[in-house]
Amino acid sequence: MEKRELLYEGKAKKLYTTDDPGLLISEFKDDLTAFNGLKKASEAGKGALNNKISTELFKLLEQNGVPTHFVRMLDENHMLHRRVDIILIEVIVRNIATGSLSKNLGIPDGTVLPFTLVEFDYKNDALGDPKLNDQHCLILNLVNSFEELDTLRAMARQVNDILRPFFHEKGLNLVDFKLEFGKDAQGNIILADEISPDNCRFWDLQTGEKMDKDRFRQGMGGLKVAYEEVLNRILGDNGTI
C-alpha cells in the first residue's frame, strides 16, 4: 500500500490517502512538542518507537474486543489504518493524580484516585484544549447524543481495564493517558490516533522513574532510552506479546 496525497500534518504524525478510499496511512514523525506547541524538538527514532508501541497496543486491544482503526504496520514509520471522522474530544483517563489534574484541583501529585477518572478536553489547539462537560460537547456538535459520550467513557474504561494490568505485569504504572476516537463509514465509534509514551504517562513501579513524554516536557533528557524501555517491556523476553 502506497502513500498518495498528504491530507493533514499534525504535531507528531502526517496523514496520507491511499488508493483505497477507506484506508489511510499515518507517518509517525520524530518531532516532539509540548505546552501547546510552544516547546519543540526532534528525537531521531522516536516516530518508529511510537509506531511499534502503538501497533502492539492496538493489537492487544483488538484481541480483547476493542474496535480500533488499526490495520497493520507497514514499515518503521508507517501504519495503515481505517479512515474515520475524528471526534474532536480528547478522552483523558486517569488512575493517579498528576499533571493538569494536580495543578488545577490541588490534588497532590501521585495520589492514587479512588476510582478511574475519565475527562473530556476539546481537541482545539487555538483554544488550548479546554475542559468540556457533556453539555458543551452537545452544544459544540462534537457528538450527536449523550449516549455517544457514554460510549466514549465506556470504551475508555475498557481500554484502561486491559492496559493497566498489562503494564502492571511489565513493571509499569499506567498513570494516565489520552485517547482519540473516530466514526467509521457506518457511524460506529472506534479507537483511533495512537497509544504511545507521547500520550500516556508510565511510571516505573519499582523506582517511580518517568518513562514518557514528561521527560521532554520537564527537560529531563533520556527520552529515547525510556521509550525503548517501554517497547522492550511490552514485547517481553521473546519479542512478542
Contacts with ligand 5GP, residue ranges (CB under 6 A) = 90, 92, 99-101, 121, 129, 176-178, 198-201, 213
Residue with cell 501547546: 36
Quote the least distance from Cβ 21 to ligand 5GP, whole Å: 28
**Distances in whole angstroms, Cα of residue 176 to Cα of each of 10, 34, 119, 158:** 22, 16, 11, 14
Residue 63, SS3 per DSSP: helix
Least distance (Å) from ligand 5GP to the CB of residue 72?
23
Which 8-state DSSP code applies to residue 108? P
CB of 147 to ligand 5GP, least distance (A): 24
Closer to ligand 5GP by CB, 21 or 37: give it: 37
DSSP secondary-structure letter at 111?
Answer: P
Which residue lies nearer to ligand 5GP by CB, 178 or 240?
Answer: 178
Compare residues 1 and 204 and give the one whose CB is closer to ligand 5GP. Answer: 204
Select 13 or 83, whichever has its Cβ closest to ligand 5GP. Answer: 13
Nearest to ligand 5GP of 67, 99 (CB atom): 99
Report the C-alpha gap between 233 and 231 in whole angstroms: 5
* Cell numbers found for residue 37: 506547541
Half-sphere exposure of 241 (CA within 13 A, CB side): 24
CB-CB contact of 87 with 182 (8 Å): yes
| Residue 44 one-letter amino acid | A
Residue nearest to ligand 5GP (CB): 99
CB of 10 to ligand 5GP, least distance (A): 10
We find the least distance from the C-beta atom of residue 56 to ligand 5GP, in angstroms, to be: 18
Other C-beta atoms lying within 10 Å of the C-beta of residue 111? 12
- Which of 31/56 has CB closer to ligand 5GP? 31
Residues whose CB is less than 8 angstroms from the CB of residue 64 and which lie 6 or more positions away in sequence, other chains included: 162
Q: How far is the CB of 13 from ligand 5GP (least distance, A)?
A: 10
